[in-house]
Structure 1
Amino acid sequence: MRSKMMGCREEHQSTHGSVLGGKPNHCVIYPPKSSIVAEELERRNNDWLNSSSSSSSSSGTYRFVRTKVASDLMVQVGDFSFHLHKLAMVSKSGYLNRLVFAKRSEGHGHNGGSLKIVLDDLPGGTNTFESIANFCYGFKVDVTATSIAPLYCAANFLEMSDDLHQGNLISKTEAFLSFAIFSSWKDTFKVLKSCESVSPWSKDLLIVKQCSDAIAWKASTDPKAFTLGQNSNGNLNVGESSDTWWFQDVSTLRIDHFIQVIESIKRKGVKPELVGSCIAHWTAKWFSGTTFVFDDPTIFKHLTQKLQRITIESLINMLPAEKNSVSCNFLLYLVKLGLKIQVNSELLSKLETRIASMLEQCCAQDLLVKNYGDKDTTYDVGIVIRVVKAYVLLALKNSRARLCIVGRLIDGYLTLIARDINLTLIDFKLLVDALPTNARSCDNNLYRAIDMYLKAHPSLMEEERASVCKAMEYHRLSEDARQHAMRNGRLPLKIVTEFMLLEQVKMARSISVSKSNINPRTTTQVIMKMNNKKCLEKGFIAPQKEIMLIRKEVENMKMQLNQLQMCKLKLQKQVQRSCIK
């Protein structure tokens, strides 16, 4: 298919209505006729294309235009020199026109020699300037989605507008650039990727914004409405969720371009939950453990850490503010990264507060954030301790019922991590003690976690085991849990003895309460009834004998109470001896 657009003839295969895509968009620019007839731009060094990335091997490489007129202008771009003609170049470039005029004003070129111009900061470098030279001499220029952004930036740098020459390079490249961005999903990303080499020109010329807006529009639209093409791995972008199909391609973007895309997507009204999930997807792709992935291994370590810090701070700042738009687990992961990279403390505190406000809606699995060191715990306990402490500061005015929800959450989390042999006693205790005592109405889950921890750490000293059990209270355990604790050989003797003592005291109180609730008149009436029944069979029993029976019952109760008191004293002495040892 061939179509004309603002003097630029594009050759591309139409694929509208197909998610499978087709050949990438391709443009052939046919420039206006040049004032100088040239045969071709001759390359004296045939290895130029292979050596363009190495300054040492490309030094002294030249380009000559074959014409009947000798060249009078040398343009140096990087390590490459182009022997050209002023008339052909300045007629289409306002920037070169000014430089040539300034050189001649300084007296250069009056003796018949060539003027020399150096363009070290030309966007796109040597490859792009060769295309520009071809355009100025009337040769056709092949352009793709990968090369169009650098060429457009270079045309603006050289001021190649229609004011100098109708159908100049700016208008022609601009036409194909807009077409490539909005016609194909695949080409939009190619254009955006090529912008990395021509920053900040691509940003100032709004190429990045155009690409971001196009991606946002397509992400909120039925993917079958435009050309998707294939992703960077050559796999077709089909079979994805109807809401998240665009995550994979967006996650390939560099952080600054990713920020632009997310801002455009937010303005487009995409659901906050999808935006949060996309940010999490990008983070998971770019961060492996806590190591940032770089294409260039020569970047210095301090620069790497600085870029990491800027990246994490940018991710935190771009998070949707809406409640539940981002998972608690992902936010904890950001805290982990932020602590390692030492991001802004105020920003980190704000993030911890946000997580703390979500704890009442979380489950224990949400708190599991993996560590990657061999000697580290399986899961990062430190970040959970920080968040729980932040919650306690927020929850001072909360009802006890809400505190107990978080209490059950933390006890469940302790149960999940208790078997980790690398979990230190200090971290376990800090997490147990992070909540106030009124945050637990029942200690059954806490007891289970403590028992699992003691089982996984058999080398703990008696004092250490006692300190672990300190937060567990007898009266907050169920009857079954108490009975199990009193028979549990992993618990320290002090705790077992204390539980047994409290069990005896409980029994004593129960008997004492029963005794105090006895009504003499009622007891007498019961006995009288029994006696009256016996009287019918054996005759009348004297009132004096009835009184003796009551007294005997009271004496039995006193004896039982004394025995319990003696048992209590013995247990107290055992506890004291065990403490001395």
Structure 2
Amino acid sequence: MSDLETRNSKSELHINVKDVPFHLCKETIAKRSAIVSSLLERNKIDELPCILQDIEADPETFKLVAKFCYGYKVNLSSDNIISVLCIAYYLGMKEEHSTDNLLGKASSFLETRVLPSWNETVNALRSGEKSLDKLADFELVDLFFDSLIEKASYDPRLLGEPIKNREETYEYRPNPRRRLFDNDWKSEDLITLPLRFYEPLMIRAMESRSIPVEYIVTSICKYAKKWVLDAEDSVSGKKREVVEAVERLLPHKRELISCEFLFKTLKHSISLEASSECRNGFGIRVSKQLDMAKPTDLKILTQGYGEKDIQLVRTVVTSFFSNYTNEEEDVSLFVKVAKLLEEFLLLAASEDASLKLEAFVALGEITAAISLGVLRYSDGIYRAVDVFLERRGYLTESEKMEACKVLDCKKLSRQGCEEAAKNQRLPLRVVVQVFFASQLQIRDTVAKEIKGGEEKVDEEEEIGVWSDEDEIEKMSEKLLGMEIESHECVVHRWKKAKKVSVWRQVKRKFGCLTTSSSDDTCTCDVKNKKTKKKKKIHHHYK
């Protein structure tokens, strides 16, 4: 610092600021600094380095202050204004000691150049984090907060555009007279602030009620994304502190926060071992809008498909249903969640080779339990089972049966039964169950048509169907001893019903009706297991 060095060694003031040496003239500094002047009078100039050490002055800022004492022009900016204010205050560079002093100039610059500007205010608050602690008595932090909130109340878009999570999006239309900024102007983002400033600022913003909550939530989500979700090199302790603060700040209202964000923060709060209040808070928010989630959102919770991951899904689903205890609640919400789980099960089976049989069965059982009494058909679970078996051709017959235990054949639709009956990936026992389920559906269909006709007859007398479960079990054992070619036909005895067109259509779907057959017969190819020979069997419905 040769331009500030003195030529008289007796009047030199030697100061080291963070290992950077400064050689200054005592009298020159004392003219501007009341503290240096007082130390010289008491012959205690050696105490000055201790004062500078207490305020943690950086060399660049101290150089600006020293230049001011030598009469040089000082270039103040939002980057250094807080540090300059701090040094000037501790050195006593006030108007009472010397006119046109540095403390007055810095205060005027802060008032006229920094606080009126959003960008300059954010930058000054971020840059002067350490120095602001030394100026706590001046309540500068509150001054910055009030300035930022006032500007955001005029133009909430300074906090960022709201996250669109539904069709009805919130759109802010500011009054042209209240626009403070040009359209091509880019605002400094609040998410660059340290947490110690950001959290109280957001709390004060919400308490002011002058800023739409959608914009505040947007800023909070962006803050979490920067410091937690996308922060790869951050220390886990810092991430945990941020995610807990984010949970405290976020409101509990539905539809304000995207499901994807909530699922990610819930997963991170668990992996970071955040407080139980934090984990439960995110879990409650997720469950409240589970009906709005996508299968990819649920996949966030189950990366790896461990036991804890599956238990987390079960907990979230259980929490969702606990939110709706009133019988008059909208049933469509439960239907959406049931379909969501079916789609998620299909997604997991098709995309993740790491999905083990045990995990698939556990997820399937959760899906089946939710679908029970909510969805009429279980075709979604069937498709997931089919894809799971297709992608894992190495499974044994017993393992395939284990995977199919989540499938309720009785809840398959007519189309689902038709597809499953021809599915060679399914175990034979399951195919037989599908056939019986389809026959029961045929019975119900025929019974309804007969009942609705002009000649109403008792369906149990007119239609000879096995309604007894013991009879069905006996037939099942017989069929398991045979190889059913193409899974196209299972024989059931039916008594002829008068002019039942539905029955004819069903027989055609199951391949039991040929062009030459009549309404009373059908022909099926059956191969005997012992002789390995095929023979045609004609079934008469008389």
- Rounded Cα–Cα distance in structure 2 between residues aligned with 1:383 and 1:167: 66
Task: Give CA-to-partner distance per residue, 1:526-553, whole Å, 9 cap, x none.
Answer: xxxxxxxxxxxxxxxxxxxxxxxxxxxx
Paired letter, 2:189:
D
Aligned position for 1:11? none
Report the more deviating stretch, 163-172 or 197-206: 197-206
Query: Residues 477 and 501 of structure 1: is their aligned pair in 2 closer, same or farther, counting only changes over 3 Å?
Result: closer
Bigger relative contact order, structure 1 or 2 (CA pairs below 8 A, ≥6 apart)? 1
Residue 445 (structure 2) pairs with residue 571 (structure 1): no
* Unaligned ranges ≥5, structure 1: 1-40, 44-62, 230-236, 240-244, 295-303, 524-553
SS at match of 2:376: coil
Aligned position for 2:249? 318
Aligned position for 1:464? 399
Aligned position for 2:527? none
Which one of the candidate residues 423, 427, 445 is aligned to 2:355? Answer: 423
Paired letter, 2:115:
F
- Rounded Cα–Cα distance in structure 2 between residues aligned with 1:203 and 1:331: 36
Report the more deviating stretch, 143-152 or 446-455: 446-455
Residue correspondence of structure 1 range 48-197 to structure 2 within 5 A: 64-66=5-7, 70-71=10-11, 73-90=13-30, 92-96=32-36, 104=43, 117-118=49-50, 119-196=52-129
Aligned position for 2:184? 238
- Rounded Cα–Cα distance in structure 2 between residues aligned with 1:64 and 1:564: 106
Contact 1:77–1:125 under 8 Å retained in 2: yes
Aligned position for 1:446? 381
- Rounded Cα–Cα distance in structure 2 between residues aligned with 1:522 and 1:184: 85
Paired letter, 1:65:
T
Q: TM-score, normalised by structure 2?
A: 0.69
Residue correspondence of structure 1 range 10-25 to structure 2 within 5 A: none
- Rounded Cα–Cα distance in structure 2 between residues aligned with 1:94 and 1:311: 42
- Rounded Cα–Cα distance in structure 1 between residues aligned with 2:253 and 2:440: 54
Which one of the candidate residues 232, 246, 263 is aligned to 2:203? Answer: 263
Task: Give CA-to-partner distance per residue, 1:96-141, whole Å, 9 cap, x none.
Answer: 4665677x4xxx68xxxx7763332334322222222233344332
- Rounded Cα–Cα distance in structure 1 between residues aligned with 2:149 and 2:456: 85
Task: Give CA-to-partner distance per residue, 1:447-493, whole Å, 9 cap, x none.
Answer: 22222233233333333333333233233221111221222222233
Aligned position for 1:350? 281
Which one of the candidate residues 213, 217, 223 is aligned to 1:282? Answer: 223
Task: Give CA-to-partner distance per residue, 1:231-256, whole Å, 9 cap, x none.
Answer: xxxxxx728xxxxx75x733333333
Paired letter, 2:385:
I
Query: Residues 494 and 253 of structure 1: is their aligned pair in 2 closer, same or farther, counting only changes over 3 Å?
Result: farther
The total of aligned residue pairs comes to 450
Aligned position for 1:483? 418
Aligned position for 2:337? 406
- Rounded Cα–Cα distance in structure 2 between residues aligned with 1:577 and 1:157: 98
Aligned position for 1:252? 192
Aligned position for 2:433? 498
Task: Give CA-to-partner distance per residue, 1:539-573, whole Å, 9 cap, x none.
Answer: xxxxxxxxxxxxxxx9x977x87999877513135
Query: Residues 566 and 424 of structure 1: is their aligned pair in 2 closer, same or farther, counting only changes over 3 Å?
Result: closer
- Rounded Cα–Cα distance in structure 2 between residues aligned with 1:362 and 1:115: 64
Contact 1:161–1:171 under 8 Å retained in 2: yes
Query: Residues 115 and 387 of structure 1: is their aligned pair in 2 closer, same or farther, counting only changes over 3 Å?
Result: closer
SS at match of 2:198: helix
Task: Give CA-to-partner distance per residue, 1:136-188, whole Å, 9 cap, x none.
Answer: 34433221222212111222333433444444332221110122323333323
Paired letter, 1:570:
M
Deviation at 1:308, TM superposition (A): 1.0
Contact 2:379–2:412 under 8 Å retained in 1: yes
Paired letter, 1:479:
R
- Rounded Cα–Cα distance in structure 2 between residues aligned with 1:522 and 1:480: 28
Task: Give CA-to-partner distance per residue, 1:360-404, whole Å, 9 cap, x none.
Answer: 344545545499x9x889xx8775444223324444555693433
Deviation at 1:311, TM superposition (A): 1.1
Contact 2:259–2:292 under 8 Å retained in 1: no
- Rounded Cα–Cα distance in structure 1 between residues aligned with 2:63 and 2:404: 77
Deviation at 1:331, TM superposition (A): 0.8
Deviation at 1:344, TM superposition (A): 0.8
Task: Give CA-to-partner distance per residue, 1:309-333, whole Å, 9 cap, x none.
Answer: 1011111111134332212221111
State the Cα RMSD in Å. 4.3
Residue 221 (structure 2) pairs with residue 292 (structure 1): no
SS at match of 2:49: strand
- Rounded Cα–Cα distance in structure 2 between residues aligned with 1:77 and 1:515: 100
Paired letter, 1:569:
K
Task: Give CA-to-partner distance per residue, 1:401-443, whole Å, 9 cap, x none.
Answer: 3433321222233333331123333443333333443344331
SS at match of 2:16: strand
Paired letter, 1:404:
V
Query: Residues 506 and 332 of structure 1: is their aligned pair in 2 closer, same or farther, counting only changes over 3 Å?
Result: closer
Contact 2:94–2:103 under 8 Å retained in 1: yes
SS at match of 2:393: coil
Contact 1:498–1:575 under 8 Å retained in 2: no
Contact 2:400–2:426 under 8 Å retained in 1: yes
Contact 1:414–1:449 under 8 Å retained in 2: yes
Query: Residues 98 and 263 of structure 1: is their aligned pair in 2 closer, same or farther, counting only changes over 3 Å?
Result: farther
SS at match of 1:82: strand
Query: Residues 345 and 145 of structure 1: is their aligned pair in 2 closer, same or farther, counting only changes over 3 Å?
Result: same
Paired letter, 2:288:
S
Report the more deviating stretch, 504-513 or 213-222: 504-513
- Rounded Cα–Cα distance in structure 2 between residues aligned with 1:557 and 1:227: 81
- Rounded Cα–Cα distance in structure 1 between residues aligned with 2:47 and 2:296: 71
Contact 2:227–2:239 under 8 Å retained in 1: no
Aligned position for 1:7? none
- Rounded Cα–Cα distance in structure 2 between residues aligned with 1:134 and 1:514: 101
Contact 2:15–2:22 under 8 Å retained in 1: yes
Contact 1:414–1:446 under 8 Å retained in 2: yes
SS at match of 1:76: strand
Aligned position for 1:29? none
Query: Residues 142 and 513 of structure 1: is their aligned pair in 2 closer, same or farther, counting only changes over 3 Å?
Result: closer
Paired letter, 1:484:
E
Deviation at 1:445, TM superposition (A): 2.0
Paired letter, 1:391:
F
Contact 1:65–1:83 under 8 Å retained in 2: yes
Residue 254 (structure 2) pairs with residue 308 (structure 1): no
- Rounded Cα–Cα distance in structure 2 between residues aligned with 1:200 and 1:317: 24
Residue 320 (structure 2) pairs with residue 391 (structure 1): yes
- Rounded Cα–Cα distance in structure 1 between residues aligned with 2:243 and 2:37: 46
Contact 2:86–2:134 under 8 Å retained in 1: yes
Report the more deviating stretch, 217-226 or 476-485: 217-226
Paired letter, 2:280:
S
- Rounded Cα–Cα distance in structure 1 between residues aligned with 2:77 and 2:236: 36
